[in-house]
Chain A
Amino acid sequence: MEHQGFFRKYVFSYDHKVIGIQYLVTAMVMAIVAGGLAVIIRTRLAWPGVGAKALPPEAYISFVTMHGTLMVFFVVSLALSGLANFLIPLQIGARDMAYPFLNMLSYWTIVPACLIMLASFFVQGGAAAAGWTAYPPLSAVKEAVPGSGLGQTLWLLGMAIFIFSFTMGGLNFLTTILNLRTRGMTMRRMPITMWGFLVATVLAILSFPPLTAAALMLLADRHLDTSFFVTDMLIGGKYRALGDGTPLLFQHLFWFLGHPEVYVLVLPCICMVFDILPVFTRRPIFGYRPSVYSMLVIGVLSMIVWGHHMFVTGMNPYVGKYFSIATVIITAPFSVLGVNLLASLWRARMRFATPMLFALAVISAVGLGGFGGLFLGTMTSDIYFHDTYFVVGHFHLMIGTVTLLSIFGATYFWFPKMFGRLMDERLGRWHFWLTAGPMITIFVLMHMQGLGGMVRRTYDPSIYGYNQMNSVLRLPITFLAFLLFAAQSIFLWNFTRSIFRGAKATANPWEATTLEWVAPSPPPHGNFGDVLPVVHRFAYEYSPGEGQADFVPQTVEKTA
């Protein structure tokens, strides 16, 4: 390999593996901030009435807003971009992304977006406070709350840059998966993770533009005196003539992105679990094709169900009924995925290594989270649950727990490929139990609070008498949240230490079949040496039969 300077090799690198790791590390840094915000929020909720000076209501709601924004867009999305960058060329047998320069550009545009988001905490009025959904008029009228000032402007700017970067990244993923597969790697032989990223990318490319449109119109409303979303209203007791806009329009545009975004995050995570399972069950995954078809159906359906986030906006009940039915229909293909995950474990002799533990926890979270979704997708019950902790618990299970546990599992699993060393198994187990345990418990308990009517985004829920019964749970949840946050230091220590001190890994430490394990650990620039591997078989040939090897890599030729 030709000599490269430090900056060209590690900073402004074109290499998809370096860019992938850069994304992952950036996501970790943002996760510390976003997780820290969650700890502050939980502290406030556990001891209402204490420390009102240190954390006034304006700051609280702004922390809630930024916790959501950072977690969804700057932690989970970035970590998945990182894994996609790392895995796509390796799993399909390519030397790099289709457009390496564009790839570097998309990472280096996300960095300023992160910095803008972080900087917004320190401007006058503090960070944005209109919720991660940024509904107008709170987000549109500068005087509404302190965070509606410069903080909200920076939020919109950061999001615009994020979308730009994410779209560039998505174009790269799409072109790479469709065009750069090595000889023999047909679509039906691809590891299912590639399908997950493919569907997610198509969804992202199609669903982010409406949010861009909404952000542009919101910026115009804020700074150029238009009235796309704002209407005449009373602010601080004074009448303000702002025009005749339609605030609901923003919600439609937002959720047109917002709902597909759930699947953008969840589908690749479920697929990575599908890729981890066979390695530790030594069996092929169950129902590869039905899973792929289900994902395609989910992809289509996810773009026409956004209204289920808006049942209480006074929409025509027939429209609500449509959104309700369409939403419940998604349950069918989604259940196929869930059942296939479970069936992949059928009669397996499992090896409980850390990645496998995380994969199993993801299956539980998919079940629990999906079940709650039924009640929220059904209009009649959603009208009761709307804006309660039932919703908070539900979406944290799906786009928090499922995604983060899967990303952790994937990190443990592909770490040897990234750095040529294994992560420590004992620390991994501690990290697993102290992460999956609290995480799932916290969000299931939040469902209970929601059933009791506890409303989200409330500074001091104890002011409502009916919340007394919910207060039983507030301390346990908060202590579990502390434990969860603290436990991540085990992961950070394990990750950092293993890069330098971990046990050396062979090219294929898990005895897996897919292409990335054919390359050396870590793979050099260009991944596969002089000759690209040729694929001869399906991605999951484990325990093919009596008297044969336990696993057959995709590159092994078929004998007649």
Chain B
Amino acid sequence: MNAQLAAPVRAQANRVLVVALIATVAMLFTAFAASYMERSGARGWEKLELPGILWANTVVLALSSVAAEIARRSRARPFDAVRDRSNIASLAGRPAASARWALPLSLLLGFVFLAGQAAAWAELRARGVFLPTSPYASFFYLLTAIHAVHVAAALVALAVALARARILGLAVGFWHFMGVVWVYVLLILKVLG
């Protein structure tokens, strides 16, 4: 029955879907943040030095977001003419040249980010910091791991968008949100507590 929906309706539904998805994931991380604040006030709270590679990862993720945005805009370009950039779903026109490299690059950077996160965990491991080592370590692993799971899911969506252009807007929107959540996580771990 999918095919029966008119393209503008589909695009609008996709936009609502991604907003709702973002809202529900935002609530998840808000709950973790609230728990972190609550726990940091209790006994036995001690912060750790964060692995330096996290800052490099942040840059990688930001670049990936930029590439994804370039991909989205270049695919949307033929529609600028009719001032309906939202209508990506029914896109049939020729994509711009950047559409060819931008999305694969974004994906690649996404995988580099995940590898970087794995390197950060390895570094902590080498320092003898494990999940149960301290409450702060527990939160560090939990927050970064849950974020990584969502990043992996977002990467799957981006990969699917390589083949099916009509979910590109949805995937890119969620991908930007993953970047925002990462900054949020980093801020919690660095500043709070």
Contacts and interface: CB of A to CB of B under 8 A. Distances in A.
A217 B39 CA distance: 12
A100 B1 contact: yes
Contact of B132 (A216, A225, A249): A225
B27 A243 contact: no
A312 to B, nearest CB: 19
A171 B32 CA distance: 22
B13 interface: yes
Contact of B31 (A100, A205, A213): A213
A209 B25 contact: yes
B165 to A, nearest CB: 18
Contacts of A100: 1-2
A206 interface: yes
Contact of B13 (A179, A206, A210): A179
A243 B27 CA distance: 27
A101 B20 CA distance: 18
Contact of B28 (A99, A209, A226, A526): A209
Contact of A220 (B4, B34, B131): B131
B17 interface: yes
A217 B35 contact: yes
For chain A, which range describes its interface: under 10, 10 to 19, 20 to 34, or 35 or more residues? 35 or more
A224 B132 contact: yes
A214 B16 contact: no
Contact of A95 (B1, B21, B27): B1
A206 B17 contact: no
A214 B28 CA distance: 10
Interface in B29-45: 30-32, 34-35, 38-39, 42-44
A253 B138 contact: no
Interface in A185-244: 205-210, 212-214, 216-217, 220, 224-228, 243-244
Nearest to A205: B24
Given A245-B39, A246-B38, A249-B39, A210 B138 contact: no
Contact of A96 (B1, B16, B28, B43): B1
B43 A209 contact: no
Contact of B43 (A179, A244, A526): A244
Contacts of B24: 167, 171, 205-206, 208-209
B187 interface: no
A484 interface: no
Contacts of A253: 31, 34-35
Contacts of A74: none
A246 B39 contact: yes
Contacts of A180: 5, 9, 13
Contacts of B4: 95, 526
A245 B5 CA distance: 51
Nearest to A210: B31
Given A14-B1, A174-B16, A220 B138 contact: yes
Contacts of B81: none
Contacts of B115: none
Contacts of B27: 205-207, 209-210
Interface in A76-119: 95-96, 98-101
Contacts of A14: 1
Given A208-B24, A253-B31, A220 B142 contact: yes
A216 B30 CA distance: 14
Contacts, number: 111
B135 interface: yes
A256 B31 contact: yes
Contact of A175 (B20, B23, B131): B20
A322 B177 CA distance: 34
Contacts of A526: 1, 4
A99 to B, nearest CB: 7
Interface string B2-23: 1011000100110011001101
Contacts of B28: 209-210, 212-213
A348 interface: no
A171 B9 CA distance: 16
A178 interface: yes
B174 to A, nearest CB: 12
Given A210-B27, A213-B35, A99 B44 contact: no
A253 B13 CA distance: 31
Contacts of A225: 131-132
B5 A98 contact: yes
Interface in A99-147: 99-101
B147 to A, nearest CB: 13
A224 B20 CA distance: 32
Nearest to B26: A209
Nearest to A226: B138
Contacts of B35: 213, 217, 228, 249, 253
Given A171-B20, A226-B138, A244-B42, 8 more contacts: A99-B17, A100-B2, A175-B13, A210-B31, A220-B138, A224-B132, A226-B131, A252-B34
Interface of A: 14, 95-96, 98-101, 167, 170-171, 174-176, 178-180, 205-210, 212-214, 216-217, 220, 224-228, 243-246, 249, 252-253, 256, 525-526
18 contacts: A96-B1, A99-B13, A167-B24, A175-B20, A205-B27, A208-B24, A209-B27, A213-B28, A216-B146, A226-B142, A227-B44, A227-B138, A228-B39, A228-B135, A244-B135, A245-B39, A246-B42, A256-B31
Interface of B: 1-2, 4-5, 9, 12-13, 16-17, 20-21, 23-25, 27-28, 30-32, 34-35, 38-39, 42-44, 131-132, 135, 138, 142, 146
